[in-house]
Amino acid sequence: MERGLESCRRSESNGLWAPRITAVEELQSRVQKTLDLLSPQELSNFRIFLKSVDEEPRVTPWRLELEGKSTKGLARLLVQHYCEPAAASRVLIRVLQQLRRADLLQCWQGAAAAAEDQGIPRKIPKRSYDCVDGELDCYDLRGKRKAFVMCVEKNRPGAQRDIHLMEEWLGQCRFEHTQCIDPNKMVLIEKIRSFRDGLNESKDDVGCCLVTLMSHGEKGFIKMEDGEKVSLEDIFEMFNNKNCPALQEKPKIFIIQACRGEKRDTGVETDDEPMESDDVSQRRRLPTFSDYFIIYPTQADHVALRHPRTGSVMIEAMSEVFKQYGNKWHIADFFTKVNNRVVHTEFHLHEEPIKVSLVMESTLTKFVYF
């Protein structure tokens, strides 16, 4: 039998029912704030998962359709249907686990148990390093966030806007950045090594490193303003676990805005239809390369796109998606959303239609939330 808010009120004695209303309203407000952080697709999945949660009484499809179309209505439905706060919290946690929203789960862990004792869930401070049962842990980003930004402006109209958008995004994600504009090969290698050495010599704990390289390029290389080439693999190697111990088990993010070849994808038309480990002196070993996340603006061997006025397609999309959704997503999910925007936007190069798709390479072992 379904239980609504009124039945909960009537179950209390006359002297106790008023405070209970306040607790329910507070819980409903908290649930709505959580739901407001979900994307439209996540909200759709939330409704699907809610119907299958093993907690009696289950929400019926017709009631979900009738009352759960908005986040406000969905929050009210959840709290009123499971009129005990502990039950509502348990259900919310189970659905968020299925959505893999580790960042939101951290705010609700222990809420059901607290509700049993106090009648309402206790607010838990968000900690990016908390472990969520059944999910990957999150990287501890409490240390310094360091970024290196290299950009070739010469003969690259729109590059100045790329720099502005990139610096704005880094600032919003709380990165301290080092800038390198129009370097030759020797200067770039010298500056990026100095940046790496600074991480290793830092007295402060480093939580994350992000390197952005914006230039012309070809497969496996970026080009300097004088045409000299620098191997991307050589740059990646500078920050591996051997050469940069300060970043061991820390996320190393690389954003590459450069062509990877000369191929052009004009796209296609589609129909719109609906080992047992050894304990050696208790020392752990790591792969030489781990905890990397590399994002490319296009497929291998293909050109990247940059508008002379609005800047590079990928950088502009990153800025737009972040302004719309902020830092609520794991970095892979964030760039998936960026890719969705890029893939479904029409571009033309010399009056010829052209399509691009971002490429992500990852050896991350935990979630990254900025």
Residues 6+ apart with CB under 8 A from 266: 352, 353, 354, 355
Angle of helix 17-35 versus helix 85-99 axis, rounded to 10? 10
Q: What distances in angstroms separate CA 187 from CA 145, 206, 224, 226, one per listed residue?
A: 23, 24, 10, 12
Q: CA nearest 178: which of 209, 140, 224, 204?
A: 209
Q: CA nearest 74: which of 108, 55, 50, 98?
A: 50
How far is residue 33's CA from residue 361's CA, in Å, rounded to a whole number? 33
Tokens in use for 70?
């908005």
Quick check: is 216 catalytic? yes
DSSP annotation of 346: -
Is the link from the previous residue into 57 a cis peptide, with omega within 30 of 0? yes
| Pairing outcome for strands 306-307 and 311-312 | antiparallel
Q: CA nearest 131: which of 122, 140, 123, 142?
A: 140
How far is residue 200's CA from residue 239's CA, in Å, rounded to a whole number? 10
Which one of the listed residues 173, 259, 302, 330 is annotated catalytic?
259
3-state secondary structure of 52: helix
Ramachandran angles phi, psi of 353, nearest 5°: -65, 140
Which one of the listed residues 8, 208, 209, 216 is annotated catalytic?
216
Quick check: is 81 catalytic? no
Residues with a catalytic annotation lie at 216, 259
